[in-house]
Amino acid sequence: MSTWDVLLWGAAPYVVIAVLVVGSLWRWRYDRFGWTTRSSQLYESRLLRFASPLFHFGLLVVIVGHVIGLLVPASWTAALGVSERLYHLVAVGLGALAGVCTLIGVALLIYRRRRNGPVFSATTVNDKAMYLVLVGAILLGLLTTVLANGVTEGYDYRATVSPWFRSIFVLQPEVALMVDVPWSFKAHVLAGMLLFALFPFTRLVHALSGFAAVRYLFRPYVVYRSRTAERARRGWEPVGVPGPREGGHDAPHRARER
């Protein structure tokens, strides 16, 4: 176990977590107006209507697959009657499908952003860096899913990468588990950590707003106009009942003064 192993698999995860948490809090504190996807639907909606749902659907399935693969021990799935062969068949099939959907979706989004003038003008340097790292992480994920578990004899990442990932959250990182992991898995993990480090400073931060959406279910009603309130007749406000014209033309002025 070298110094690089300790730095990459023992220290770097905590640096990423610190950047993710502190960066998100900083962004919320000082850049709430920028806490948005900066939607470009106004400029172009035909391609976006297809690419965005495809990307988000694939990404959601990818996230669920990562949560199950990294956080759920193999003993738990075995206790539920899921064999190791069945688990890997589902992981390869569903993971490959979700990865392809995500890759096609993000490719169409990048094509739309590059070919549409107003959309490209609204693209920042952070957006370009985010897309670069995101596409790299997706490609490496497909590589590990298809090559390491589909084409070759297979690699059981739940015996090495998953225990290492869980050990981070109990503050006892098992660095030795990552030493002999294939390079494709290591590259995918590093790309994922880099993506999470960039997360608070890009448009991806809008994903955290999904947690706030739960409050929408319990929000109070917004009353714009009461049904029982007396509706005033539209027009000029009354200035009083006209009386005898004692002073000629000065009478209307005295009525207004009252």
Annotated binding site for heme b: 56, 66, 188, 206
Q: How much is the pLDDT for 38?
A: 75
Cβ atoms of residues 203 and 130 within 8 Å: yes
Per-residue pLDDT of the chain (258 residues; tens, 9 = 90+): 789 999 999 999 999 999 999 999 998 888 877 777 777 777 878 888 889 899 999 999 999 989 988 998 888 888 888 888 888 888 888 888 898 999 999 999 999 988 888 888 888 888 899 999 999 999 999 888 776 665 556 678 888 999 999 999 999 999 999 999 988 899 999 999 999 999 999 888 888 876 655 665 565 655 555 555 555 555 555 555 555 555 544 444 444 444
Of the candidates 226, 147, 209, the residue with the CA atom closest to the CA atom of residue 182: 147
Please give the full DSSP string across 191-238, using - where no structure is assigned. HHHHHHHHGGGSGGGGGGHHHHGGGGGGPPP--SS-SSSPPPPSSPPP
Q: How much is the pLDDT for 217?
A: 56
Q: How much is the pLDDT for 253?
A: 47
Q: How far apart are CA 233 and CA 228, in angstroms?
A: 15
Q: How much is the pLDDT for 205?
A: 86
In order of start, what are the domains of the chain with their CATH numbers? 3-33+43-217 (1.20.950.20)
Annotated binding site: 56, 66, 188, 206
